[in-house]
Amino acid sequence: MKYLITGITGFAGPHLANLILNEGHDVVGLVRGSNGMETDITDVVSEPNYSKISFVYGDLTNFRTLDNIFKRETFDGVFHLGAQSHPPTSFVDPLGTFEANIMGTANLIQAIQDNQPECKLMFCSTSEVYGNVGRDGHKLQTTDTLLPANPYGASKVASDLYLQERMSNGGIKGFITRAFSHTGPRRGHNFSISCDAHQIAKMMLGHQDKTLSVGNLETIRVVIDVRDCVKAYYLLMQTEDALGKVFNVCGDTPRKMGFFTDELIKLSGLENVEKWVNPKFYRPIDIAYQHGDSSSLVNLTGWSTEYTISSTLQDLLDYWIKKLK
């Protein structure tokens, strides 16, 4: 099988590429510009795997470049991970977020429809589409109201609903994943948890004093490893029974964000680390509690998580230490 990954130079894309290659399939990565940025993924993709990846160049917001790619290349499936995925940035630049996420997805859907109607599309939506609907503590269902709390979530709702319409009307073969919080090696340091790990790694290397800037440590999330998350994407792509459906991708243990901060400090071996609540790390509107029901994913594919949260955080901390060195 031959799969295209949009967002291959992002966070989850390289981990998904590793999995697909290790399963014996071919990977093509979509890269926005031919400026060498694709080499950046070698921080988590081994040289043997990297050498097997083919790259195509185009912008999701430019339909013509996507159309040309699908005229030249044939794919069995597309994993659409490319997006502006940082909620705080979406408050600063909502129009840019909408252009990248809504029009980028619409362009991709159109290019597949026009050229390769048998190609399957996985759209990476997000738990952010639910906003604060789950604040009463119930497990969020894919049928729950979509009520985003930030422009990023709103952009994903629009794309999510558009693909649902296209699938129900027979325009495209696809499925939707709404991934809840996940972290691990390569997570950007502008995201919570990885921000803590990045700072703690700098402390361990003597590049920062022992004052840790943190955000809201009282909000509650279920966090899994990025490698478990992309395994769900891959397993769903392998079954025809996923087509036309929406799936939550979520673990089972809700924890306060402060737990992950404390665990990283413990793993570092550092003592007397002072936490400082940085107003810049607060979202204008935050999501108090978020936990999702992944039973449909589990029942269809047998998916389960393999990484403990402790091993994930250790790998994330090791990643930043290596990166900073």
Provide the residue ranges of all domains of the chain, joining segments of one domain with +.
2-184+223-251+294-306
Give the separation between CA 197 and CA 192, rounded to whole angstroms: 9
Query: What share of the chain in percent tops pLDDT 90?
Result: 94
| Per-residue model confidence as pLDDT tens digits over 238-266 | 999 999 999 999 999 999 999 999 999 99
Cβ contacts of residue 54 below 8 Å, gap of 6+? Answer: 26, 27, 28, 29
Quote the mean pLDDT of the chain: 96
| Per-residue model confidence as pLDDT tens digits over 225-244 | 999 999 999 999 999 999 99
Query: Which DSSP category does 10 fall into?
Result: S
| Per-residue model confidence as pLDDT tens digits over 14-31 | 999 999 999 999 999 999
Predicted local confidence at residue 133, as pLDDT: 96
| pLDDT of 284 strictly over 90 | no
Evaluate whether 9 touches 31 at the Cβ level (below 8 Å): yes
Average of per-residue pLDDT across 105-113 = 98
| Per-residue model confidence as pLDDT tens digits over 25-75 | 999 999 987 777 899 999 999 999 999 999 999 999 999 999 999 999 999
| pTM for this model (two decimals) | 0.96
Q: Are strands 220-221 and 255-256 parallel, antiparallel or unpaired?
A: antiparallel
Give the separation between CA 176 and CA 233, rounded to whole angstroms: 9
pLDDT confidence bin for 282, thresholds 50/70/90: confident
Evaluate whether 24 touches 98 at the Cβ level (below 8 Å): no
CATH fold label, 2-184+223-251+294-306: Rossmann fold (3.40.50)
- 77 forms bridges with which residues in the sheet? 3, 120
Give the separation between CA 325 and CA 320, rounded to whole angstroms: 8
| Per-residue model confidence as pLDDT tens digits over 178-229 | 999 999 999 999 999 999 999 999 999 999 999 999 999 999 999 999 999 9
Predicted local confidence at residue 258, as pLDDT: 96
pLDDT confidence bin for 283, thresholds 50/70/90: low
Average of per-residue pLDDT across 107-120 = 98
Predicted local confidence at residue 167, as pLDDT: 98
* Residue 200, CA distances (Å) to 127, 191, 240, 260, 281 in order: 28, 14, 44, 12, 16
At how many degrees (to 10) do helices 63-72 and 104-115 cross? 30
